[in-house]
Structure 1
Amino acid sequence: MNPSKKISALIITYNEVNHIDHVIKNIAFADEIIVIDSFSTDGTFEKLSALKQVTTIQREFKNFADQRNFAIAQAQHDWILFIDADERITPKLKTEILETVNTSENIAAFMVKRLYFFKQKRIRFSGFQTDTTYRLFRRNKVKYIEDKIVHELPEIDGTSALLKNNMLHYCFDSAAHYKAKMEHYAKLKALELHQKGKRPNAFHFYIRPFYKFIVNYFFRLGFLDGKEGFTICYLSAYGVYFRYQELKRLS
Structure 2
Amino acid sequence: MKISATIITFNEEENIKRCIDSVLEVADEIVVVDSYSTDQTEKICSSFDQVRFIKNEFKGHIEQKNFAIQQAEHEWILSLDADECLSDNLKTEIENIKSKTEDKFQAYSMPRLNNYCGQWIRHSGWYPDRKVRLWNRKMGKWGGHNPHDRVILDNGIQSGKLNSNLLHYTIASLSAHINQVNKFSEIAALQLFNSKKKPSATFKMIFDPPFIFIKRYILQLGFLDGFYGLTIAVISAQAKFLKYAKYKQFKSKK
**TM-score using structure 2 length:** 0.90
Shift in Å at residue 138 of structure 1? 0.8
Deviation at 1:200, TM superposition (A): 4.3
Match of 1:148 among 131, 145, 163: 145
Q: Which moved more, 1:86-95 or 1:152-161?
A: 152-161
1:25 counterpart SS class? helix
Distance 1:212 1:164 in 2: 28
CA contact (8 A) 1:109 1:160 kept: yes
State the alpha-carbon separation in 1 of the partners of residues 140 and 223 from structure 2: 37
Runs of 4+ in 1 over 6 A off after TM superposition: none
Work out which of the residue numbers 22, 28, 37 in structure 2 matches 1:26. 22
Gaps of 5+ in 2: none
Match of 1:118 among 112, 116, 119: 116
Deviations 1:51-76 (A, max 9, x none): 33211112122111111111110110
Q: Distance in 2 between matches of 1:110 and 1:184?
A: 30
Deviation at 1:199, TM superposition (A): 4.7
Give the counterpart letter for 1:219 in structure 2: L
What percentage of aligned pairs have identical amino acids?
A: 37
Pick the aligned partner of 1:106 from 89, 104, 107.
Answer: 104
Give the Cα separation in 2 of the matches to 1:200 and 1:56: 44
Could you say what secondary structure the match of 1:168 adopts?
strand
- Which amino acid is the alignment partner of residue 185 of structure 2? A
Structure 1 residue aligned with 2:9: 13
Partner secondary structure for residue 23 of structure 1: helix
Q: CA deviation at 1:19?
A: 0.7
Structure 2 CA distance, aligned partners of 1:249 and 1:14? 28
Indicate conservation of the 8 Å contact 1:144/1:153, yes or no.
Answer: yes
Q: In structure 2, give the amino acid aligned to 1:186.
A: S
Give the structure 1 partner of residue 56 of structure 2: 59
1:105 to partner: Cα distance: 2.2
Q: Supply the distance in 2 between the matched residues of 1:182 and 1:244 (Cα, whole angstroms).
A: 13
Report if the CA contact (8 A) 1:39-1:59 is conserved: yes
1:22/1:153 CA distance change after superposition, 3 Å: closer
Is the Cα–Cα contact under 8 Å of residues 201 and 247 in structure 2 kept in the other structure?
no
Shift of 1:40: 2.0
Letter of the aligned partner of 1:58 in structure 2?
K
Q: What secondary structure is seen at the aligned counterpart in 1 of 2:111? A: strand
**Local SS of the residue matching 1:242:** helix
**Cα distance in structure 2, aligned partners of 1:174 and 1:41:** 22
Is the 1:109–1:161 Cα contact (8 Å) retained in structure 2?
A: yes
What CA distance in whole angstroms lies between the structure 1 residues aligned with 2:187 and 2:201? 19
User: Is 1:246 matched up with 2:243?
Assistant: no
1:69 is matched with 66
Opposite residue 140 of structure 1, the aligned amino acid is: K
Give 1:166's aligned residue.
165
Alignment of 1:72-91 (within 5 A): 72-91=69-88
Whole-Å separation in 2 of the counterparts to 1:131 and 1:85: 17
CA contact (8 A) 2:117 2:174 kept: no
Could you list the runs of 5+ residues in structure 1 that have no partner in the other structure?
none
Please give the secondary structure, in 2, of the residue aligned with 1:83.
Answer: strand
Tell me the amino acid that sits aligned with residue 62 of structure 1. K
1:145-195 Cα shifts (integer Å, max 9, x gaps)? 3x6233223221322121121211111111111222222222222122112
1:134 maps to a residue whose letter is: V
What is the deviation of 1:202?
1.7
Letter in 1 for 2:176: H
Q: CA RMSD in A?
A: 1.7
Q: 1:130 aligns with which of 128, 131, 154?
A: 128
Corresponding residue number in structure 2 for 1:218: 218
Structure 2 partner of 1:35: 32
* Residues 122 and 128, structure 2, Cα contact 8 Å, conserved in 1: no
